[in-house]
Structures are given as structure tokens and as C-alpha cells.
Amino acid sequence: MSLNSLTDWHWGKPLARPSHFFTFYGSTLGQDAATPIASGLFKTLPMANAVLPVVTRFLRHPLLLSGVLLLCAGGCSQQQGRDVATQLSEGTPAELFQTSVDRIATLSMQDNLLSLYLLMNKLYQRNPAEWRKSGFLDARTAEREVRNVIEQRQPLPQLGERRNLAALSYALSPEFLGDRVGAFIYAIGSMLITAHGGRQEFYITDVINAQFVSNAARNIEKATWLLSQRQNANGELLLFSNEISEEGSNLSFAVEFGKIVARLDLLTQMLDERYRRIGLNYAQSLLFMNFLPVQ
């Protein structure tokens, strides 16, 4: 196609002559060499008379352009600073005394207890006769009582002085005749807290045994299996939980227990890496004959 027959469009109008084509696309030889493309582009744009002088001024004055860019960068930095300040204001002063692993362990413990309380609610719904054995007027009151004794590390009256694994074994035995749901959840909750050194919040000075946390995860896996298998003398399940039938499937109990196990396993790996790095740092200091800090 020759330039004389060019009929391309330009903002809804045909290009009437070749020179118009070259003017729009910036071939403006003989114009200001500092702004050939910019001036050629804006010649045919709307509001060219207003925009072109501003663009040309910025391009001709590098210091002015640099100043505008610095102002934009400063605005971004201030926004980021405000975001950091907002995040700090939403935290608590106690978080200043927590490492990243301590914070993750604290949040993991909170989430695991919440998962336990959700499981307790679901178990009471599937086994309404259990909360009545505790003598409470409704399931909500029974849930609140179990939650309080777990978090305050108090014994559950119907379990006597049993806690942790002893309470778990007794709660899943046919000999236990009390509120089996409350006893089962209490046993797991007390075992979790014990595995974390008897604490629910963790700080720099606290030490968590990774092996105990891993053992707690394995115990929960076993307890989940026993929950779905243990039967009484009549061949009936001690507690109804997961269900797979022709009417449908309900595996929400296994899913929630799986979340607890996954959090515990993740924390175990993080603790192992934390103490492994401490050992490696010590070994490196010996290898390179570095003195260790004393303060």
C-alpha cells in the first residue's frame, strides 16, 4: 500500500494525507530534539494545547521531574509507614516479648482449642444424652463448664483427678458412665496444654519440647480412630461422630481433628528447625573459632 492511498483511521477520522500519519506517530524531524515523540503524539490528541506544554516542561527540566518523583516516592513511604504503625497498634505489648515461633505456637494453641470446642458442640448435637448426664440444663452450659476447666487447668469432677492420657483412656472405656463428650474433649485439651509445657501463651524465655508436641499429634490420631470404633457391651458405638451411609456422609469430625494434627505437625517442624539452627550456629562458632557473645 502506498502512502498516497493510505486511509487508516485516527481517532475516528481517516488519515487524509501522508504527513498527518507521520505527525501522529512522532516522526517530527526538525522539531525540538528533546521531545520528538511527545510533541508529535500530542499534536493530534484532544486538549493538546493544554497537555503538551506541561509534558514538555517536565522533559526539559530534569530537576523538576526528579522532584515530582521524590514526592510520589515519599507518599508511598508514608503510606507504608502508616500501614506498619496500624499493624503495631493492633497488636498487644506482650507480643514484643515473642519470637516468630512463639507467636505461631500461641496462635496454634488458640486455634486448636477452638477446634476442640467446635468438636464438642458437634458431638453434643449427635449425642444429646451425654450433656444431660452432667446435670446441666442445656448443652451450652455443659460446653462452657468444660471450656473453663480446660483453660484454668482444673480437674473435671466426673473424671476425678485424671488428666491427659489417663483421662483420655478412661473417657473412651465402657466403664465410664458420665458425660463422655465432655470427658473426651477435656482429656484432649488437657493433653495439648501439657504437651506445650503447661502454657497457652509463649514468650522468649519459654521452651517447647518438639517431641512432646509430635507425640500429642499422634495421640490425637489414635483417639480419633478409637472414637469411631469403641463400642459398649451391646455393640453400639460409645459416641456417634463420623457417618457414612446411603443417606450421605458426615466426615466433619475427621476433618477438624485433621486440622489440629496438621497444626501440631507444623509447629513440630518449626521447633526442630529453630533448635537445629541454634546447634548449627554453635558448631559454626567452633569451626571458625569465633568467641560467643556473653551479653
Phi first, then psi: give them for residue 127, nearest 5 degrees. -130, 65
- Within this chain, do residues 144 and 84 fall inside the same structural domain, yes or no? no
294 domain-assigned: no
For residue 14, the one-letter residue type is P
For the chain, the domain total comes to 2
Boundary of a domain, candidates 90, 107, 139: 90
Q: How far apart are CA 5 and CA 80, in angstroms?
A: 56
262 domain-assigned: yes
The confidence band for 286, taking pLDDT boundaries of 50, 70 and 90, is low
Give pLDDT, residue 120: 95
The confidence band for 15, taking pLDDT boundaries of 50, 70 and 90, is very low
The confidence band for 99, taking pLDDT boundaries of 50, 70 and 90, is confident
Apex CA 192: angle with CA 187 and CA 196, to 5°?
145
293 domain-assigned: no
In the chain, pLDDT over 70 holds for what percent of residues? 59
At 195-249, the pLDDT tens digits run 999 999 999 888 899 999 999 999 999 999 988 888 888 888 888 887 665 665 5
- Within this chain, do residues 128 and 193 fall inside the same structural domain, yes or no? yes
Find out whether 159 and 169 touch, Cβ atoms under 8 Å: no
- Within this chain, do residues 239 and 264 fall inside the same structural domain, yes or no? yes
- Within this chain, do residues 52 and 117 fall inside the same structural domain, yes or no? no
For residue 82, the one-letter residue type is R
Give alpha helix (H) positions in the chain. Answer: 18-24, 36-42, 48-60, 62-90, 100-126, 128-133, 139-151, 164-171, 180-195, 210-229, 252-287
Helix (H, G, I), strand (E, B) or coil at 177: coil
Boundary of a domain, candidates 49, 73, 90: 90
Mean pLDDT over the full length of the chain: 74
pLDDT for residue 111 is more than 50: yes
Among all chains, which residue has been given the C-alpha cell 483412656?
A: 169
pLDDT for residue 161 is more than 50: yes
Give pLDDT, residue 288: 57
Give pLDDT, residue 150: 95
- Within this chain, do residues 228 and 154 fall inside the same structural domain, yes or no? yes
The confidence band for 96, taking pLDDT boundaries of 50, 70 and 90, is confident
Domain hosting 41: range is 1-90
At 269-283, the pLDDT tens digits run 998 877 665 555 555
pLDDT for residue 42 is more than 80: no
- Within this chain, do residues 260 and 173 fall inside the same structural domain, yes or no? yes
Q: How far apart are CA 216 and CA 191, in angstroms?
A: 7
- Within this chain, do residues 172 and 155 fall inside the same structural domain, yes or no? yes
154 domain-assigned: yes
212 domain-assigned: yes
62 domain-assigned: yes
- Within this chain, do residues 62 and 137 fall inside the same structural domain, yes or no? no
The confidence band for 180, taking pLDDT boundaries of 50, 70 and 90, is very high
80 domain-assigned: yes
Residue count of the chain? 295
